[in-house]
Amino acid sequence: MNAMPLTTISSNLCFGGVQAVYTHDSPETGTPMRFGVFLPPQATVARPVPALYWLSGLTCTEENFIIKAGAQRVAAELGLAIITPDTSPRGLGLAGEDDAYDFGSGAGFYVDATQAPWSQNYRMYSYLTQELPWLIAANFSVDPARVGIFGHSMGGHGALVLALRNPKSYKSVSAFAPISSPMRCPWGEKALGGYLGPDRAAWRDYDATSLIESRGWKGPPLRVDQGSKDQFLDTQLQPELLREACQRAGVPLELHMREGYDHSYFFIASFIEEHLRFHAGNLVNSRVAPDAKERADTA
């Protein structure tokens, strides 16, 4: 892959590290793509740090996590980099692209679309598993052998799917209020049907419960936090489906039901420190195989 230049949108000192936002022209999506990077003060050329990818939910950009989650203080303490990509390509002018909050702009669902007109540009799965990790490794002092992933709602779905399909790339995974089985909820049925077509068998590669049953997970326990007062709990998120799939497959799951919490970033901010410490425990002192830059899907 040829070098891709980055343009700095913003850069701010933050808890001794740097919180920045960049843009670049993406070959995968055919559009400019923005992403944030928090580099902790421990990140030096001689000492690359572990990295966490955060995947956001419906309607979000790279900005929401940066300004609302309150993650930088603890990430700086633990020596963790955090990469925050956008949730979809933007500005393509496709019919219907901006008509709904749960499909199109801000709702890429972290899939590689196969249906026209989305298939040419809505390639968030390949962007996140191939292009962006290469770009990060080429430009920042992060250790590609020690990478975890987490996210919220649609992004929780994405984090689980990317980790389950790429266990050599992601050593740790957690989620806040994930869409546990997109094949069995209105958000997911709309998105997967629109991006992948009507054949539900093709949807299974983007459904965490199906992936757990077909592939399992040999890494550290999956961690999920879910608010009991989440307005989407019963209709869209359905954590019991994830729990049942893990039980059947013998996959360890730490499912924390948080009494009284909803779906908002107030919920995320309340437990972000626990998630960061969970990932640090799995990544900071980990040692992995020498071929640290392998990003291939194990499909």
Q: Which of 26, 88, 105, 153 is catalytic?
A: 153
Give me the amino acid identity at 5. P
Q: Tokens 């948080």: give the residue.
A: 258
Burial 236-252 (b: 16+ CB within 10 A, else e): bbbbebbebbbeebebe
Q: Tokens 């709309």: give the residue.
A: 190
237 vs 122: CA distance, rounded Å: 23
Residue 263 appears among annotated catalytic residues: yes
Residue 153 appears among annotated catalytic residues: yes
Going from the C-alpha of 283 to that of each of 50, 82, 149, 199, 279, the distances in angstroms are 6, 13, 11, 38, 6
Q: Which of 152, 157, 263, 279 is catalytic?
A: 263
* CA atoms within 13 Å, Cβ hemisphere of 10: 12
Three-state SS for 115-137 is: CCCCCCCCEHHHHHHHHHHHHHH
Q: Which of 105, 230, 275, 279 is catalytic?
A: 230
The residues carrying an active-site annotation are: 153, 230, 263
